């Protein structure tokens, strides 16, 4: 199973412990055909473009940016979480596709 993440922040990337492939663009993510795609909404210029067919798509971002959450939900993301909740659930999310 392939886990792909669009997470530009290097500090945030370190929390994944090498279990994912990081991408910079939506096209890169689509080419990898992930089972799970994780998107840092706060650092994403193409929120709808990161919805990859057949993948579980989880977006995370600041809890105060409800318009960004709404855009992700309208774009078909499986789940949209606040940053703090996302990182608490990260081990569970990563193990769910192994």
Backbone angles phi, psi at 82, to 5 degrees: -70, 155
Q: How far is residue 7's CA from residue 14's CA, in Å, rounded to a whole number?
A: 10
Domains plus CATH for the chain?
Answer: 3-95 (3.40.50.2300)
Residue 37 main-chain phi, psi, to 5 deg: -120, 125
The number of helix segments (H) and strand segments (E) in the chain equals 4, 5
29, 56 Cβ separation under 8 angstroms:
no
| pTM for the full predicted model | 0.93
Residues of the chain with confidence (pLDDT) below 70 = 98
């Amino acid at each position: 199973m392939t886990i792909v993440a669009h997470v530009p922040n290097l500090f945030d990337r370190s929390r994944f412990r090498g279990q994912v492939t990081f991408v910079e663009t939506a096209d890169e993510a689509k080419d990898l055909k992930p089972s799970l795609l994780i998107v840092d909404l706060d650092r994403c210029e193409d929120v709808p473009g990161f919805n990859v067919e057949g993948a579980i798509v989880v977006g995370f971002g600041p809890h105060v940016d409800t318009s960004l959450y709404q855009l992700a939900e309208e774009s078909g993301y499986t789940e949209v979480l606040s940053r703090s909740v996302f990182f608490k659930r990260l081990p569970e999310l990563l193990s769910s596709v192994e």
